[in-house]
Amino acid sequence: MLILYILLIFATHSFAQNSKQKTTSETVVQELLEKANSLTHTDPAQSLAYLNRALKHKDEISDAQLLFLYKIGTVACINQQSNMQALDYGYKALALQKKIDPSQMHFIYNNIGCVYMQLSDTEKSRELLNLSLKGLKESIANGTLKEKEVEAYLVYSNLAVIEIESKNYVKALEMLHIYKKQSIRLKDTAGIIITYQNLSNVLYNLKQPDSSRYYSDRGIELSKKKNSRDDLAYLYYYRGYNNRETAKDTAVYYLEESFKLGEELNLSDVKLSTSKALANLYEGNNDYKRSNYYLRIANTLSEKNISEQNKKKTELLEFENEQKIKQQEALLETQKRENLLLFGFILLVPVSVIGFLMYRLQRIKAIQRKVENELLVQKMESKNKELTSNAIQILQANEIIDYTQKGLSQLKTSADTPANRMLTQIISDLKNGNQSFNKKEFEKLFIETDEDFYKKLLHKYPTLTKNEIRLCAFAKMNFSTKEISAITQQSSNSILVARSRLRKKIGLEENQSLTVFFRSF
């Protein structure tokens, strides 16, 4: 059985570079995140406990701190085998990284790919790791990758693991050589050790046992110098497993050492693989007691492993279903918004058309009213001119009649002769005809000229007589007492008395002008 070692990109963040004044919450969260980050590998449970405390200040910290929190959470959950929670943190980190700086998303793609690798979803893992590799290459091309960012190249090692699982050993070897070159260039001892582990595995499967042993020995040597016991447990396994057919005693030694370290460090995958290999070796040496001992351990671990694998698959299905539900809800929400927008647009079109038509109608009506008013004004001006002209003609006619009457009166004698009687009749007819003409013509013209004024006057003062109505009209036209007297054939005193009675009837003070009153009426 293959033991594959995946590489996580540990969260890094430089708060010291931020010269901005931090709030109290940001300071508290920074301390919690630094503690959590230091424990992601050695004590992931405690790391997550610190993160949960930091999450209480989620709404009070910057996006940069929140992103750092999500990154730490992803790594801690992976190390604790809390894969669903790791995916939740990972995708949140991905969304926030896209908002802050999309060029650095390849780091997060790598870690999410590792989660799917732990869940045995090879295709999904490959997809995300390829996205990480693509982002890495773009970052290098654009000059946004820092030379000392060792973690950026971990994707090559993880893709190699995917290819090993798929038995694409040549492709895996290509990826490992690239990663080894970068690890040596950046003096990344941990990366070199991991590369030696995987190279030993790949070369063994490519039927190159000597090269496989060479990299195992180099890895063991480096792990001892660095005191990396986890790496040593895996390398002992590779060294022993690769010698099980050619040097059984050597194989037993390395496998036993690997099993011991696996027990001490609680590496269940190491214990399972070494116990199976040791059970077979001891059976081949006819040591059935030792063989059964390791076989029982292997069976127990296998059952546990199968149970864990089934649990992981179930969790993955649940997570995928939850994601689908969220996507469906988001889709429904989007469709609802689109439908509302569409409904609003559909509603807006007829409303806009109706509004436009109403506006046009109002404009047309306004233009029509303007034209009608202009015509009415023209008509009123024409009538006023006619009324004024007639009034002048009446005045002129009255003057002629007065002059004629005076002349005829001078011709008339006191004798009762037919000629005198005829002159008297003519003078009488002139007076009567003149008065009749004045009243009829003036009233007709006045009503035609200002019908509204006439109606309003009768509505407000229904008890006015015809003579009083005529007097109102004369006042509105600003005729003097003398002019009114000449038109109506009444004396000036009679006109003044009539004006006084009219003021009382309409409730107007003596010092108030009738002309001003009626023009504003």
Last residue of a domain, one of 146, 180, 214: 180
- DSSP, collapsed to helix, strand or coil, labels residue 8 as coil
Secondary structure (DSSP) of 118-142: HTT-HHHHHHHHHHHHHHHHHHHHH
**What gap in Å lies between CA 182 and CA 192, rounded to an integer?**
9
Q: Copy the structure tokens of residue 342.
A: 């569409």
Distances (CA, A) of 470 to 177, 442, 464, 501: 120, 8, 10, 14
Residue with tokens 């000392």: 148
Is residue 153 one of the residues assigned to a domain? Answer: yes
* pLDDT at res. 485: 82
Domain count, the chain: 2
Is residue 485 one of the residues assigned to a domain? Answer: yes
Note whether 133 and 105 are within 8 A (CB).
Answer: no
Last residue of a domain, one of 180, 215, 247: 180
Is residue 308 one of the residues assigned to a domain? Answer: no
Secondary structure (DSSP) of 303-362: HHHHHHHHHHHHHHHHHHHHHHHHHHHHHHHHHHHHHHHHHHHHHHHHHHHHHHHHHHHH
Q: 3-state DSSP helix/strand/coil percent for the chain, to nearest 5?
A: 80, 0, 20
| Buried b or exposed e, range 267-304, using 16+ CB within 10 angstroms | bebbbbbbbbbbbebbeeeeeeeebeebbebbeebeee
Those residues with Cβ within 8 angstroms of residue 288's Cβ, 6 or more apart along the chain or in another chain:
282
Q: Which domain holds residue 493?
A: 450-519
Last residue of a domain, one of 180, 215, 240: 180
Is residue 468 one of the residues assigned to a domain? Answer: yes
Note whether 445 and 383 are within 8 A (CB).
Answer: yes
* pLDDT at res. 21: 47
Q: Please classify residue 77 by burial: count the beta carbons closer than 10 Å to its beta carbon, then call 0-12 exposed, 13-18 middle and 19+ buried.
A: buried
**What gap in Å lies between CA 8 and CA 225, rounded to an integer?**
22
Residue with tokens 């070494």: 274
* pLDDT at res. 436: 47
Tell me the pLDDT tens digit for each residue of 143-187. 887 645 777 889 999 999 999 989 999 999 999 999 999 999 988
Is residue 20 one of the residues assigned to a domain? Answer: yes
Q: What is the CATH number of the domain that holds 71?
A: 1.25.40.10
CA dihedral 77, 79, 82, 86 (to 10 degrees): 40
pLDDT less than 50: residues of the chain: 1-5, 13-21, 147, 436-437
* pLDDT at res. 14: 45
Those residues with Cβ within 8 angstroms of residue 25's Cβ, 6 or more apart along the chain or in another chain:
57, 60, 61
* pLDDT at res. 120: 84
Tell me the pLDDT tens digit for each residue of 260-273. 999 999 888 899 99
* pLDDT at res. 377: 67
Tell me the pLDDT tens digit for each residue of 405-434. 677 676 666 556 666 666 677 767 666 655
Stated as kind and residue range, the H or E segment containing 110 is helix 105-118
Those residues with Cβ within 8 angstroms of residue 164's Cβ, 6 or more apart along the chain or in another chain:
2, 4, 172, 198, 201, 202, 205
Is residue 200 one of the residues assigned to a domain? Answer: no
What is the value of pTM for the model shown? Answer: 0.57
Is residue 254 one of the residues assigned to a domain? Answer: no
Distances (CA, A) of 423 to 407, 419, 429, 430, 436: 10, 6, 10, 11, 20
Distances (CA, A) of 490 to 406, 430, 483, 496, 510: 17, 15, 10, 10, 21
Note whether 279 and 294 are within 8 A (CB).
Answer: yes
Q: What is the CATH number of the domain that holds 481?
A: 1.10.10.10
Residue with tokens 């023209």: 378
DSSP letter (8 states) at residue 414: S
Note whether 98 and 67 are within 8 A (CB).
Answer: no
Distances (CA, A) of 397 to 79, 433, 452, 489: 123, 11, 30, 12
Q: Copy the structure tokens of residue 453.
A: 């004024």
Closest residue by Cα to residue 7 from 123, 113, 80, 163: 113
* pLDDT at res. 222: 95
Distances (CA, A) of 512 to 23, 495, 500: 79, 17, 11
* pLDDT at res. 253: 94
Is residue 202 one of the residues assigned to a domain? Answer: no
